[in-house]
Amino acid sequence: MASHPPTPLPARPRLRRLDLQIPPRDRQIITAARASDASGGSESHPIPFINAVDRVPYAHFTYSSSADAAFDLGFDVGCRCEGGACEGCACAEGVGFGLKRECGRGCRCGSGCGNRETQGGVGARLRVVRDPRKGWGLHVAEFVREGRFVCEYSGEYVTNEEAKRRLMEYDELTSGGQFSHALLVVREHLPSRRACLRVNIDATRIGNVARFINHSCDGGNLTLILVRNTGSLIPRLCFFASRDIKEGEEITFSYGDVRLRPDGPPCHCGSTGCFGVLPSEQT
């Protein structure tokens, strides 16, 4: 389970040596550029790191704006709508609570179709803000109305076995302090098939700014929706505003239905119902 604060992986010696070869002035320029936009130009608006707490300028990870295409069926599956008129087409039909469907790669409608709300990168202006206790957190830099798409949780899809293996590895690193992972496990009970779908997305090394979203014991102000593109086997995890969110507010959600370990990392969510401990995924 993701736990905050998401901090960079410990620097490897090889990288440190490389860094030293860069002249100090160039290093400052690189640092300033990274701190000015966490997405490195991948999103339509820059997402700056704001830190009035300590001297950490940014968090290092490989930016990937979407986890899509991971499991495309690879053949021509999709609607035949022309000119993006997909309101009411089969691709737009809901499939249940907490699930949403959107047009996919094989649809003829094209990228301008109105049924691709979550496919254009982050949906609101955001910034990554340092907190003295939680580390980095994600804040909105504009007013966000209830129901609006905010961002996808992008990262590497991993199998259940691999998730288990990584969580054990991360647990060990976490106990040494200074490290916190961003592996999110989501279980969705499918109403139609009485089955449980488990999605593991690891944004620890590769992901987007959603990796900075902190947990809140009261559920926060985001709803997690599984979005399945037509022709794709695995849904993407997308965050929508669960209520109106004021400019400058931190965005949070509940890491979920997971075990509370008495020895787990402390929770600083500040909500009235705070359990005092961050939820952690059963390994």
Tell me: cis bond preceding 46? Omega within 30 of 0 counts: no
Q: Does position 227 bind Zn ion by CB under 5 A?
A: no
Q: Does position 237 bind Zn ion by CB under 5 A?
A: no
Q: Does position 184 bind Zn ion by CB under 5 A?
A: no
Residue 156 has which token pair? 């590497």
Q: How far apart are CA 210 and CA 36, in angstroms?
A: 17
Query: What is the total residue count of the chain?
Result: 283
Quote the least distance from Cβ 114 to Zn ion, whole Å.
7
Q: Does position 180 bind Zn ion by CB under 5 A?
A: no
| Closest of 79, 70, 130 to residue 101, by C-alpha | 79
Instruction: Please give the single-letter amino acid code of residue 40.
Output: G
- Pair 237, 152: CB distance under 8 Å: yes
In whole angstroms, how far apart are CA 113 and each of 25, 88, 93, 193?
A: 46, 12, 15, 29
| Closest of 94, 114, 95, 116 to residue 105, by C-alpha | 116
In whole angstroms, how far apart are CA 104 and each of 76, 151, 231?
A: 10, 18, 6
DSSP β-bridge partners for residue 196: 189
Give the residue with the Cβ less far from Zn ion, 107 or 183.
107
Quote the least distance from Cβ 170 to Zn ion, whole Å.
38
Quote the least distance from Cβ 231 to Zn ion, whole Å.
9
Contact map string, positions 90 to 129, toward Zn ion, x by CB under 5 A: -x-----------x---x-x---x-x--------------
Residue 242 phi, psi dihedral angles, 5° rounding = -85, -10
Give the residue with the Cβ less far from Zn ion, 38 or 89.
89
Contacts with Zn ion by CB under 5 A: the residue count is 12
Q: Which stretch binds Zn ion (CB under 5 A): 31-39, 87-95, 195-203, 275-283?
A: 87-95
Quote the least distance from Cβ 121 to Zn ion, whole Å.
18
Quote the least distance from Cβ 76 to Zn ion, whole Å.
12
Give the residue with the Cβ less far from Zn ion, 89 or 126.
89
Quote the least distance from Cβ 110 to Zn ion, whole Å.
8
86, 122, 140, 210: which one binds Zn ion (CB under 5 A): 86
Chain residues that interact with Zn ion, rule: CB under 5 A: 78-79, 81, 86, 89, 91, 103, 107, 109, 113, 115, 230
